């Protein structure tokens, strides 16, 4: 889901035509693909990722002044309510809040170039937080995936 700031609906699913058509009954995928905006009912369900830890994907376009992180594989309610970052240049140990771009992608725009390693604190929709200490190394790269050693309890 994605927060929708326009008056269509509070939440919406923005799916490709292929994904949208895949939800149709047999033989009716083209009809659904071209339906336009439709009302849907949905509910969130808790997720479990046995054997996986919370993982961070550094998004394409990230650089020392713009860092975008996709948070993946968090057990539990599935909502990421907040992500905070501590970079390697932060001698005080202060956490800086990231801003939600959309979905589970969080970003930080800064005039001061960020330096790794990066620690990330993730807070879920239930208010529980975990810290992935120095999970993204100093020599990080865009489009790289970094696995932590932490996970929310189911």
Residues 38, 68: one domain? no
Buried b (16+ CB within 10 A) or exposed e, 144-153: eebebeebbe
User: 133 pLDDT exceeds 70?
Assistant: yes
- Of residues 93 and 31, the one with the higher pLDDT is 31
> Has residue 2 been placed in a domain?
no
The 96-97 sheet, strands edge to edge: 96-97, 80-86, 118-124, 129-136
Residue with the two structure tokens 């035509």: 17
> Has residue 14 been placed in a domain?
yes
3 state SS of 31: helix
User: 31 pLDDT exceeds 80?
Assistant: yes
- Does this model's pTM top 0.85? no
**Per-residue pLDDT, 22:** 83
Tell me the average pLDDT of the chain.
87
- Of residues 38 and 65, the one with the higher pLDDT is 65
User: 131 pLDDT exceeds 50?
Assistant: yes
> Has residue 50 been placed in a domain?
no
């Amino acid at each position: 889901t994605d927060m929708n700031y326009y008056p269509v609906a509070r939440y919406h699913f923005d799916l490709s035509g292929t994904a949208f058509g895949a939800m149709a009954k047999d033989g009716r995928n083209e009809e659904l693909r071209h339906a336009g905006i439709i009302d849907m009912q949905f509910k969130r369900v808790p997720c479990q990722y046995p054997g996986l830890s919370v993982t961070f994907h550094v998004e394409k376009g990230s650089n020392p002044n713009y860092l975008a992180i996709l948070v993946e594989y968090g057990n539990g309610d599935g909502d990421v309510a907040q992500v905070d970052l501590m970079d390697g240049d932060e001698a005080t140990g202060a956490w800086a809040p990231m801003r939600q771009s959309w979905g589970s992608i969080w970003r930080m725009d800064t005039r001061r170039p960020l330096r790794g390693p990066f620690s990330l604190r993730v807070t879920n929709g239930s208010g529980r937080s975990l810290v992935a200490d120095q999970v993204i190394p100093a020599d990080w790269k865009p489009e790289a995936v970094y696995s932590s050693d932490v996970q929310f309890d189911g």
